[in-house]
Chains A and B, each alone.
Chain A
Amino acid sequence: MNKNEELLKLENLKKWFELRKGIWANPVFVKAVDGVTFSLGKGEAISLVGESGSGKTTLGKTILRLYKPTEGKIIFEDKDITYYEPKKLMWYRRETSIIEQDPYGALPSFYSIYRILEEPLIIHKFGNSEERRKRIHEVLEEVRLSPIEDFAPKYPHMLSGGQLQRVAIARSLTLKPELVIADEPVSMLDASVRIEILNLLRELQENFGISFIYITHDLTTTKYFSERLFIMYAGKIVESGKMLEVIHNPLHPYTTALLKAIPDPDAENRKILRDVPPGEPPNLVNPPTGCKFNPRCPYKMDICLKEEPAMLEPEHEHFTMCWLHAKK
C-alpha cells in the first residue's frame, strides 16, 4: 500500500496488562496483544476474527487509545500517536469512533436518543444548536431510524436491541470519522436482526468511504463484510489476506481448524465428527514457548516448540505466522 493511501499503521504493537498477585510479589503480565503489525488503507474495511482471549477486543481498544500501548507504534494519518497525552488526542477522538458490543449498555439510559447523539457534537463544539439538530437528523436518517420525530425524543429502554445498535452506529458517525472500530456489534442481537445491521454497516462504510475494523468471533458473518480477513490467536495475527483467499485456501493450522469447526446447515453434519484440535486457547500469562498454537497443532514440528515464527508471505498478499510455510 503506498503511503498516501494508508490511514493506519501498526508496528509491533503490544498491550500487556499488569496483574499483581500481592504487594510483595513480582508483577505478572497478561500479554493480551503481543506484537501486531499491519496497515489499514483509507476507506478500507477489514474483519478481525478470533475466539475469546485472542486479544482482538484489546487490539481494537488499544488502536483507539482507550488503553495505553505497552510497546510498538500506532501511526494514524502519518502521526505517531502511540504515546500522546489524552489532551493531545482530542482530534483523534473526532476522527475515530467505536461501536460497542452491548447495545443496552452502550447508551446512557437516562438521556433521550437526541441527547445521546448530541453529546459528541457538544464535546467537540460542533456548531450551534440548530446545526447540531440538522446533523442529528441527518445521521438518524442514515441509519434508517425514521420518522425521526418518533425516535429522537425516546429513551433507550423504549427501543429494541436492533434499534439501539442503530443509534450506537449513528452516534459513531456524527463527527464523520475516518476510522470506525466495531467490537462484536451484532453478537448480542437476535440472529434475525444481525444480517440487517451488518448490511447497514457495510452500506454506510461503502457510501462514506470510512475505514472499518469489524471485530468478531463469528467467521461466517465476515464474508460479505470486508475485503481482507485477519485471524488472531493468543495476541498475534496468525494469518491475514484477501477474504476469499483465506477462507478457501487457509495457510495457518488454526485457520484450518476454525474453518473445519464451523458448520453450514447440512443434514449430513450429524453423521460425521469434526476434525478439530482439542484443548483451549492458551494462558496469556504463561503462554507456551515458541509458536503459541503448538500444543494444539496437528502439524507441530520441533522448531515450533523453540522459536516463534516470523510473519511470512508465502503467497502474494497472503500472510501467515507458521513454520510450515518457511522456505528453508
Chain B
Amino acid sequence: MTENILECKNLVLHYTAKKGVVKAVNDISLGLLKGESLALVGESGCGKSSLAKAIIRLLPRNIQSYTGEILIDGQDTMKLNEKQFREEIRWKKISMVFQGAMNSLNPVLKVGYQVAEPLLIHEKLKKNEAMEKAKEALSVVGIHESFVDRYPFELSGGMKQRVVIAMALVTNPAIIILDEPTSALDVITQANIMNLLKRLKKERGLSYFFITHDIALSSELADKIAVMYAGEIQEIVSADTFYKKAAHPYSQKLMASVPTLRIDKKPEFIPGAPPSLINPPSGCKFHPRCPSAFDKCAKENPPIFDLGSGHIAKCWWFEQSEGKK
C-alpha cells in the first residue's frame, strides 16, 4: 500500500490582525500519496494559500497559533527548528511555486543565477556545477540554455513561469506545492504549462499539491480533490467522483457554477459571499449559503464523516452513513 508522502494532522494557523484573529487554517487533516496530485480548490479568501504556507513554513510575523502535525515522509516537521527545517525540508523534500510567480523573480539578477541559487544554498555546489544543473533544469521546462544570461524583464509571462517551475525542480524535491501557477497567463500558454507539469509528474514521479480556484483547471492535474471553505476542509474525494457526483453541498454548488465550453449547461451562481475568517458563521461555516441546510447546521460544526474509499465530507447530511471518523 502506498504511503502518504505528505500528511497534515489537525493543522492550525491563526494570524492576529487589527480587527481580530484570522482563523485561516482551522484543524485541517489531509494526506497526499507518493506520485499523486491533490488539488485544493476553494473560493478566494478561504485560506488555501495560508495552508500552503503552513506546510512549507513560510509564515508572517503576526502568528497567533501554529499547531498540529505535518508529516513529510513520515517525519513530523513541526518538531524541527527553523534551521533544521531550512536545511532538510524546504526545497529539499518539498518546494513551492508561488501565486503571481512572475513577480517573485528578482529583477536585478540573471535568470540562470536565480535557478542555480537553491543549489548553491542547499547542496553547496560550486558555481559552475550549479549553473550546469540550472541549464539542465531550464531545458527540462522548455527554455533554451542561452537564456541563463537574460534578465527577467526580457522574458514573457509564460517563460517567467517556466523559470519559476525550474527553480522549484532544481533540487529534485519529491513534493511541489503549486499555488495558482497559471493565474496571469493566457489560455494557450496555460495549456502548455499544464502539459509541462503533467510530463514532469510522469517522468519524475512528483507529487503535486495544486492550489486553485479554477475548478475546470484543477481537473488538468488532480487525482484527488480537497475542497476548502472558511479555513476548513469540507470534502476530500477522488477526481473521478468529484467531477461527476460530489457529495458535499458546497462542492455541488461549485461544480454547478463552472461555465463549460462543450457541455450545454447554464452555470448557476452561489448566492452570498465567502465569510470572514475573523468572524465566521456559527455551526457549519457554509450554512448561510447552503440550499440543504437544516437547524442542526446553524448550531454545531459537523465533524469529518468517512464515506469509504478515502472519501470524507464535513456535513451533517452524512451523519447516518458510515459513522464518524
Contact = CB atoms under 8 A, between A and B. Distances in A.
Chains A and B directly touch (beta carbon < 8 Å): yes
B240 A274 contact: no
A220 B259 contact: yes
Contacts of A260: 191
A218 B299 CA distance: 40
B62 to A, nearest CB: 22
Contacts, number: 123
Contact of A267 (B156, B243, B268, B269): B243
Interface in B236-276: 238-240, 242-244, 255, 257-263, 266-270, 273-274
A44 B190 CA distance: 32
Given A192-B257, A269-B220, A280-B156, A264 B262 contact: yes
A259 interface: yes
Interface in A247-277: 247, 257-267, 269-270, 273-274, 276-277
Given A190-B43, A220-B260, A280-B158, A160 B273 contact: yes
Q: Lowest 9 CB-CB distances: which A-B pairs, in order? A: A261-B191, A51-B186, A195-B269, A267-B239, A196-B269, A220-B259, A269-B219, A276-B191, A274-B191
A192 B46 CA distance: 13
A29 to B, nearest CB: 20
Contacts of A160: 273
Given A264-B216, A267-B222, A270-B37, 8 more contacts: A191-B214, A191-B257, A263-B220, A264-B262, A266-B219, A269-B220, A276-B191, A276-B192
11 contacts: A51-B186, A51-B188, A190-B273, A192-B273, A217-B187, A224-B266, A259-B261, A260-B191, A265-B215, A267-B219, A276-B188
Contacts of A274: 191, 194-195
A129 B260 CA distance: 46
A278 B240 CA distance: 29
B198 A270 contact: yes
Contacts of B199: 273
A223 interface: yes
Given A192-B269, A263-B216, A270-B223, A220 B239 contact: no
A265 B191 contact: no
B267 A195 contact: yes
Interface string B206-249: 00000001111111111100000000000000111011100000
B301 interface: no
A193 B257 CA distance: 9
A235 interface: no
A162 interface: yes
Contacts of B172: none
Task: Name which of A191, A269, A273 has the most chain B CB atoms within 10 A of its CB.
Answer: A191
A258 B188 contact: yes
Bin chain B's interface residue count.
Answer: 35 or more
B273 A264 contact: no
Nearest to A224: B266
Contacts of B255: 265
B259 A221 contact: yes
A192 B261 contact: no
A247 B260 CA distance: 12
A52 interface: yes
Interface string A191-206: 1111110010000000
Contacts of B262: 264
Nearest to A219: B261
A281 interface: yes
A191 B43 contact: yes
B239 A223 contact: no
Contacts of A273: 195, 198-199
Contacts of A193: 269, 273
Interface in B268-321: 268-270, 273-274
B189 interface: yes
B44 interface: yes
Task: Name which of B158, B213, B243, B261 has the most chain A CB atoms within 10 A of its CB.
Answer: B261
B44 A190 contact: yes
Given A199-B269, A261-B190, A247 B261 contact: yes
A208 B148 CA distance: 56
